[in-house]
Amino acid sequence: MIHRKITHHIANLFFKGKVILIFGARQVGKTTLVNLLLENRSESILSISGDEPDIREIFKEITSTQLKTLIGNHKILFIDEAQRIKNIGLTLKLIVDNIKGVQVIATGSSAFELANKTSEPLTGRKYVFHLHPIAFEEMLEHSNLLIEKRNLSQRLVYGCYPEIIIKENESKELLKLLADSYLYKDLLLLESIKKPILLEKIVKALALQIGNQVSYNEIARLVQADKLTVEKYIDLLQKAFVIFTLPAFSRNVRNEIKKSRKIYFYDNGIRNALIGNFNSVESRTDVGALWENFLVSERLKFLTNHNSDKNIYFWRTTQQQEIDLIEEDANTLNSYEFKWNPNKNPKLSKTFLRAYPNTTFKVINKDNYESFLIQ
């Protein structure tokens, strides 16, 4: 069993009078994580799933009195796939406000549904966690550095979903199923997704542009749709944990690009499944893009798992000077360039250095990446 870094954070928050919400994509291990948290608890536990039609019906118009009867003497209530339950936010609020001494844990694979349904009713009543695919740091604790370095090419192509790591020989077929689950089980259940073929075109276009600045106008022209529709679908893809955006860093320089963004996939394997390319690293022309997506997504996992308050950006000027990743917190500015080939050693842009003289700079390649992903 691969230990997840956020486990101890969650365990320390039991019975603090708040709901524990765990967001994450399908199949990243949310249910497994909660079951592990609960297996050694002495309290009585009631586990239910929003995927069950009778559970959805029971909770549809439930009152606090009915909730007390349902929960009974149980001290922990675990609601899996909570986003499928109507008015789940109000229901969780009723439990917190009216049934003392009960710890509620709810998971959801669709942040756009669960977050919207819980944000206002649960103000001040919740702890929120995000679970990503397995992180490099978690794999180091599970195996060791030598094994993980040997598996680097595998991770770049097939990603880090738990089932993909465990069932390596079935990676290709499982990833295809996962990619379909993203697009057709979660997103296409939404009434706002009226053109599933368009959604598929957009996500494939994004998969071919990782590491590049993304123009919504350009995507709209490419898929023959209007810009507002493209923006809406990309926003939903973010909220379903398929992709995330990196904004441009801009403070001082007149010709810095200010409103652009880069888009990355949370997992390399999902990205490769969407474009149907599982070729080995050695035979690919997009290895640089794979490397950048892997490092940025892994760094995001690390910062999330450690509850870091650092902000991350990319930087580029109209003259095409660029930096792949910038991390900013209250006191420091660290910049990074990603190169798969260890023999490539780019220098920090003089324009950037003049504008931000206190920054650090490091080139991350396949010979030194491990320290970047665990510090």
SS3 322: strand
The predicted structure's pLDDT at residue 109: 75
Same domain, 177 and 64: no
Same domain, 198 and 102: no
Same domain, 232 and 116: no
Same domain, 158 and 263: yes
Same domain, 126 and 142: no
As beta bridge partners, residue 104 has: 77
Report the CATH number at residue 126: 3.40.50.300
Residue 209 φ/ψ, nearest 5 degrees: -120, 15
d(CA 312, CA 282): 30
Same domain, 119 and 241: no
Same domain, 62 and 155: no
Same domain, 237 and 168: yes
Same domain, 159 and 62: no
In this structure, are residues 362 and 324 in contact, taking their beta carbons and an 8 Å threshold? no
In-domain check, residue 286: yes
Same domain, 151 and 274: yes
In this structure, are residues 202 and 223 in contact, taking their beta carbons and an 8 Å threshold? yes
Same domain, 307 and 164: yes
The predicted structure's pLDDT at residue 48: 95
The predicted structure's pLDDT at residue 185: 67
In-domain check, residue 358: yes
The predicted structure's pLDDT at residue 115: 58
In-domain check, residue 143: yes
CA-CA distances (angstroms) from residue 162 to 79, 207, 217, 279? Answer: 21, 22, 36, 21
The predicted structure's pLDDT at residue 191: 59
Total of domains in the chain: 2
d(CA 178, CA 183): 9
d(CA 262, CA 213): 5
The tens-digit pLDDT sequence of the chain (375 residues) is 899 999 999 999 999 999 999 999 888 999 999 999 999 899 999 999 998 999 999 998 899 999 999 999 999 999 998 888 888 888 999 999 999 999 999 998 765 555 566 667 788 899 999 999 999 999 999 999 999 999 999 999 999 999 999 999 999 999 999 888 776 666 776 656 777 888 889 999 999 999 888 888 899 999 999 999 899 889 888 888 889 999 988 876 666 566 788 999 999 999 999 999 999 999 999 999 999 999 999 999 999 999 998 999 999 888 888 999 999 988 789 999 999 999 998 999 998 898 888 899 999 999 999 999 988
Spell out the residues 6+ positions from residue 96 whose beta carbon is closer than 8 angstroms to its own: 17, 18, 19, 104, 122, 125
In-domain check, residue 74: yes
Q: Which residue has the tokens 């902000």?
A: 311
In-domain check, residue 250: yes
For residue 50, give the nearest of 92, 15, 18 by alpha carbon. Answer: 92
Spell out the residues 6+ positions from residue 268 whose beta carbon is closer than 8 angstroms to its own: 155, 156, 157, 158, 159, 160, 290, 293, 294, 297
In-domain check, residue 1: no
In this structure, are residues 203 and 237 in contact, taking their beta carbons and an 8 Å threshold? yes
The predicted structure's pLDDT at residue 330: 80
Same domain, 60 and 91: yes
Which domain, by its residues, includes 54? Answer: 7-130
